[in-house]
Amino acid sequence: MKLNYKSLEEARKNFTLKERWEVFSGTPEKFNIAYECVDRHDPQKTAIRIKFANGNNAIYSFEEFSRLSGQLANHLRHKGIKPGDRVAVLLFPSIEFYISFFGIMKVGAVVVPCFPLFGEEAIEFRLTNSNAKAVIVTREMSNNIKKGLVSQVIYADELLDAIKNEDDQCAINTSANDLAVIQYSSGTTGRPRAIEYKHIAATLTAVNMKFGIGITDDDNYFNPSSPAWGHGIWYGTVGPLIFGNAIGAYSGKFDPEMFLEALEQFNITNISATPLVYRMVRTCGKIGNYKLKIRELSYTGGPIDMDTLKYFQEYLGRAPRSIYGSTEVGALIIEYSFPDYKQKLGSLGMPMIGVKVGIIDENNNELPPGTIGDLAVLRKGKWIRVGDAAYVDEEGYFWHKGRSDDIIISAGYTIGPFEIEEVLEKHPAIERVAVIGVPDEERGEIVKAIIIPKTEPSDELKKDIQEFVKTRLSKHEYPREIEFVKEIPCTPDGKIKRNELKRIERLKKGKN
């Protein structure tokens, strides 16, 4: 297996970005993600493992995967799908999803993965914005697609039967710079953004899978993230297949015990998941009931609380490691999987080899260690702000302090919402919490906590919560304003929609 460095020191000394091409059969002039992930591997090896929410399992070989995705590609060609056409896929993880995802790319068309439980407006936006020509969806979920949005609706329920007489050999003719995937951001800070990925994106994914995920030849890998989002697309679907490792997927409404059952049944050794998944496993308290063989854990998609990190450290002898980046700029900071990397629980880690990351002020000047500023990456001589606030310590580890526009400046103090949320979630009367800054004439901003309570709300509970924070954080960080609610707006992968909360707050105060 290529990129097999034994230590971080060795990788820093020898790795160059050009080396990533050695992982693949193709060249920049002739390169296709579907061929690299599906067609070139041992046909007898396992390619897909799926745990369904109802407890059922499904397992497919590379031979089946290659044949069915080739048949799907020819089926699409016969339906008039051409290179460059956009084809949306609204399916949960299933054989129909995976052969569609890679079959579309075999045609040279562009995959537009969409979360299958989106409402009508969310689907309409993505289909219209991407200029999708066709959509692959179940008949039941097709009710959310307005008539006339696409020229063709292909029903997944009948897909395997529809393609069975198609030729499974499919001529592939794409380059590394041809468009492969249009992925939409989760929309935590406004309207979802369309991010275009070319086939070459797989070559960078290969590096991240080795340095961050730490995947090896004999790993049984699992990633429960929806393949409608970046983590599920690149780390859950494309990433493992690059190296001939099987996809490990969860399909349907997430249940932490069903997830643990999958880890045991599939002998999973390497997991990558979102912080929400790890928190749900901790909360269910059943990890000790399963015989697990986990050697590597990683997470991405937001910050994780210290209690959850310590929980996995206690039960599995290792804590999940951070992979930090964004849909737009890729992985920037990681907690490396190498044995000589010293993990600091709660930190983002260190910059990816070959990537210059810094903390800058409003004038694009780098800030010294310990000073909170905007996290940015240097590209072509210019700093690009990522949108997060952070600081770097004396040893070069980066520490996340929240979204830059979520940072609260109160009476001159810089306050990150996540650390307050982490403390509040330890209160026995709190189910879920979101913290935002709200305007205040005296202090500029004050901390407001929006709370889903476990018990009956009262003024006494508010005071108790405020004192709870005061005794655990600095006095200026306690929530001076508390609101009890029944639900908090979140994305499907569990991220708090703070901009939505701020918008609601402005409406309450009669401001636009």
- 135-178 pLDDT, tens digit each: 999 999 998 898 889 999 999 999 999 999 999 998 999 999 99
Listed in sequence order, the residues at least 6 apart from 90 whose beta carbon sits closer than 8 Å to its beta carbon are 114, 115, 116, 118, 123, 135, 136, 137, 138, 141, 145
pLDDT at 45 over 70: yes
189 band by pLDDT with thresholds 50, 70 and 90: very low
Domain 419-508, CATH: 3.30.300.30
Of 431, 438, 435, give the one whose Cα is nearest residue 507.
438
Q: 4 to each of 56, 113, 217, 321, how far by Cα in Å?
A: 35, 31, 10, 19
Q: Could you give the residue ranges of the DSSP H alpha helices within 386-477?
A: 417-424, 459-470
Domain 355-404, CATH: 2.30.38.10
Distance, CA of 24 to CA of 460 (rounded, Å): 62
How confident is the model over 324-337, as pLDDT tens digits?
Answer: 987 667 789 999 99
353 band by pLDDT with thresholds 50, 70 and 90: very high
Residue 401: CA count within 13 A, CB half-sphere: 21
Distance, CA of 439 to CA of 122 (rounded, Å): 31
pLDDT at 191 over 70: no
How confident is the model over 218-266, as pLDDT tens digits?
Answer: 999 999 999 998 899 999 999 999 999 999 999 999 999 999 999 999 9
pLDDT at 199 over 60: yes
Q: Where are the beta strands (DSSP E) in 303-406?
A: 321-326, 330-334, 350-351, 357-360, 373-379, 382-392, 398-403
User: Of 163-172, 183-192, 380-389, which range is least confident?
Assistant: 183-192
Q: What is the pLDDT of residue 327?
A: 67
Domain 8-319, CATH: 3.40.50.12780
Which residue matches tokens 């935590």? Answer: 188
Give the predicted TM-score (pTM) of the model: 0.83
Helical axes 275-284 vs 256-265, angle rounded to 10°: 100
Strands, sheet with 86-90, edge to edge from the N-terminal-most edge strand: 152-155, 132-137, 86-90, 110-113, 179-184, 194-198
SS3 38: helix
Domain boundaries, the chain: 8-319, 355-404, 419-508
188 band by pLDDT with thresholds 50, 70 and 90: very low
SS3 31: coil
Q: What is the pLDDT of residue 36?
A: 98
pLDDT at 485 over 70: yes
pLDDT at 434 over 80: yes
